Amino acid sequence: MLSHVLRSLTSDHGLVPRKWEFREEIPLVGSDRSLFIAMGTIALISLVSSLSLLSFLTYRFVYWQRYYKSPLAKNQYVVLIYNLLLVDLQQSLAFLISLYWVSVGSVRFGEAACYLQGWWIQTGDPGSGLFVLSIALHTGAVVLRGRQVTFQTFIWCVVGLWAFILILGFIPVGLYGKDVFVISEANWVCNASYWS
């Protein structure tokens, strides 16, 4: 039954295309160029705001004695938000590469920018969702239990979450090698495992 459903999704009339059309380079013209400029501009704003908040929190982590009675790094909510900002920084870097594609006039497979964009999207997208989910689960657990998990358990959960995010990124690289990131139908560098 499951194999039938999967086959129907990958058929010509399903949600996911069966064949991938490989293209080395796609020129950016017209509305594509405008969209890439808009995306890159918003990514630049996101990068500046993420870096600003990360710098502020890092400063407060290091010099916590000046501002707090206990270390800020022991606040589990702040640590989760800090990790979410790290993932958002990756996403903004990935989208910022759109401005590079605009400057060269096309999206090109095989360039370092292609691989960086693909990797940062591959780890940033699920990472962002997983850290938002972890904040929600942590908040729900605190509300239901009335107390937080031990700090050591919490740190192991955060480390485990990062390991899971990296494993999600390495699986397609292991399956497809250097051709893992390809140019999608939307002129976007994406992971080939989504389309095979």
pLDDT value at residue 25: 74
Helices (H), 10-149: 30-62, 76-104, 112-145
Beta bridge partners, 132, equal: none
Angle at 83 between CA 154 and CA 128, to 5 degrees: 110
Q: Residue 41 is encoded by which pair of tokens?
A: 């501009």
Handedness of CA 117, 109, 12, 176 (dihedral sign): negative
pLDDT value at residue 117: 87
Among the listed residues 191, 195, 160, the one whose alpha carbon sits nearest the alpha carbon of residue 174: 191
pLDDT value at residue 27: 75
pLDDT value at residue 190: 52
One DSSP character per residue, 141-184 reads HHHHHSSPPPHHHHHHHHHHHHHHHHHHHHHHHHHHGGGSEEE-
For residue 90, the one-letter residue type is: Q
pLDDT value at residue 185: 45
Element (H, E) at 72: none
pLDDT value at residue 36: 87
For residue 180, the one-letter residue type is: V
Low-confidence ranges of the chain (pLDDT < 50): 1-21, 185-186, 191-196
pLDDT value at residue 20: 45
Please count the other Cβ atoms lying within 10 Å of the Cβ belonging to residue 44. 15
- Left if phi > 0, otherwise alpha if psi is -120 to 50, otherwise beta: which for 30? left
Distance of CA 77 to the CA centre of its chain: 20
pLDDT value at residue 59: 95
Element (H, E) at 181: strand 181-183
